[in-house]
Amino acid sequence: MTVETKLPYDQEYISQFSQKHKEPEWMKSLRLQALEKAAALPMPKPDKTNITNWNFSNFKHEAAGEPIQSLEELPQEIKVFLDLENTDQNLVIQRNQSVAYASLSSELKEQGVILTDIYTAMAEHGELVQRYFMKDAVGVDENRMTALHAALMNGGVFVYVPKNVQVEAPLQSIFWQEDAEAASFNHVIVVAEANSSLTYVENYISHNQEEEAVANIVAEVIAHDNARVSFGAVDNFAQGTTAYINRRGVAYRDAVIEWALGQMNDGNTVSENITHLIGDNSVSNAKTVTVGRGKQSQNFTAKIVNHGLQSDGYILQHGVMKDSATSVFNGIGKIEHGASKSNAEQESRVLMLSKDARGDANPILLIDEDDVTAGHAASVGRVDPIQLYYLMSRGISKQEAERLVIHGFLAPVVTQIPIKAVREQLTEVIERKVY
């Protein structure tokens, strides 16, 4: 069954929107084609989660935001994600759909590193953006949501690291949805050329409780031969936002893509993280944490596809469910024919804090090659009373003991988040969501 979502956006609106942002012609026609396709394409069908009644149509597509002169002007809730003592920030702050603040160290600029908003990237590095925009990772015509994403894309960041350049300092984006009804059709592209390395961290923040909004987000990570990308994210959309998030990676020969995702939205969410290990010896580690609360329903897919010889994929998903939250965790390891000597490992663990919460861990291994190794582990359980007993026997209160066990449970991912300030924020968000 497809959902009839009548969109208030037509060809004319899209054309004008594109012109207003001075986009190149190719982008405008890509948008218009995508809009046409969207009408005919089906909605995505996440396994075991019914999204037919979710709000994907009620939102405000355009919302500008004021620039800021210095980081000191930011409200506290945004400041906490930043390392303010560092004066040499590599940072883009997007306020609604405008760039409020952008800085990149001169050293990195000289080396040819790009960290800029998607519109500037299209204007200044049009060929690069065109080469990667929904080409190798996410396709426009995968489903209605990906097509709508292309048609309505209204923000995002482009990251590019040239050949042989090692970027030590993290590159950071903050997507601050200040307007409670503003939709986020954010598009992030991260390209690491051969033998390069980078760390990128992004934060999504909104505060809409009653107001409805939609986030339809795509991030595409391309790691060329022997490149290394470490991608960290903390998603923190408020209750009113329905989110459809696609983060996808393509790793070529000897490349490594590391994901550390804190999936902390308070609204209904479908979040997919897929990595294609195209090249021989390529590696991906996908680590995610989630806390579900209230009545939210979430569906998470972590998938790694081994194409290359001796490629190695490892998925780790940890989720905590409380109240009457529902979550489905799909872990998919797929080994294509010919990817011999490759390895697909995955582990999904769900900790239930209330009897009304629901958690579902689905480990799936799809293997079309003989000479491989693969393994999976999945569990759904409660806090172990014997662990609590042990901690309490040292004088620690029951609440504190539970807190320790939950933090410990989520630590394997939290400790992987690259920026200290973001890591601490994730810890704080977890704290707030769990208690």
Partner 1 sequence: MAGSTLEIKDLHVSIEDQEILKGVNLTIKGGEFHAVMGPNGTGKSTLASAIMGHPKYEITQGSVLLDGEDVLEMEVDERAKAGLFLAMQYPSEISGVTNSDFLRSSINARREEGDEISLMKFIKEMDEAMDYLEMDKNMAQRYLNEGFSGGEKKRNEILQLMMIKPEIAILDEIDSGLDIDALKVVSKGINKLRDENFGCLIITHYQRLLNYITPDKVHVMMQGKVVKSGGPELAQRLEAEGYEWIKEELGIEDETVGQEA
* Interaction site with partner 1 (CB under 8 A): 384-387, 389-398, 400-401, 404-405, 407-412
User: Shortest approach of partner 1 to residue 391 CB, angstroms?
Assistant: 7
User: Shortest approach of partner 1 to residue 404 CB, angstroms?
Assistant: 5
User: Shortest approach of partner 1 to residue 317 CB, angstroms?
Assistant: 15
- Between 112 and 408, whose beta carbon lies closer to partner 1? 408
- Between 164 and 397, whose beta carbon lies closer to partner 1? 397
- Between 91 and 410, whose beta carbon lies closer to partner 1? 410
Single out the residue of 222, 165, 164 nearest to residue 188, CA to CA. Answer: 222
Q: How far apart are CA 111 and CA 16, in angstroms?
A: 36
Query: What is the phi/psi pair of residue 96, to 5°?
Result: 50, -115
Decide: 370 and 383 in contact? Cβ < 8 Å: no
Decide: 159 and 191 in contact? Cβ < 8 Å: yes
Single out the residue of 222, 282, 234 nearest to residue 419, CA to CA. Answer: 234
Element (H, E) at 126: helix 126-132
User: Shortest approach of partner 1 to residue 169 CB, angstroms?
Assistant: 26
- Between 175 and 409, whose beta carbon lies closer to partner 1? 409
Decide: 237 and 207 in contact? Cβ < 8 Å: no
User: Shortest approach of partner 1 to residue 401 CB, angstroms?
Assistant: 8
User: Shortest approach of partner 1 to residue 409 CB, angstroms?
Assistant: 6
User: Shortest approach of partner 1 to residue 388 CB, angstroms?
Assistant: 8
Token representation of residue 19: 């012109």
- Between 40 and 390, whose beta carbon lies closer to partner 1? 390
- Between 365 and 405, whose beta carbon lies closer to partner 1? 405
- Between 169 and 396, whose beta carbon lies closer to partner 1? 396
Decide: 395 and 364 in contact? Cβ < 8 Å: no
Regarding beta strands 114-117 and 155-161, do their DSSP bridges make them parallel or antiparallel, or are they unpaired?
antiparallel
Residue holding tokens 């990251």?
159
- Between 171 and 351, whose beta carbon lies closer to partner 1? 351
Residue-by-residue DSSP string for 160-208: EE-TT-B--SPEEEEEEE-STTB-B-EEEEEEE-TT-EEEEEEEEEE--
Element (H, E) at 133: none
Token representation of residue 207: 């505060």
User: Shortest approach of partner 1 to residue 99 CB, angstroms?
Assistant: 38
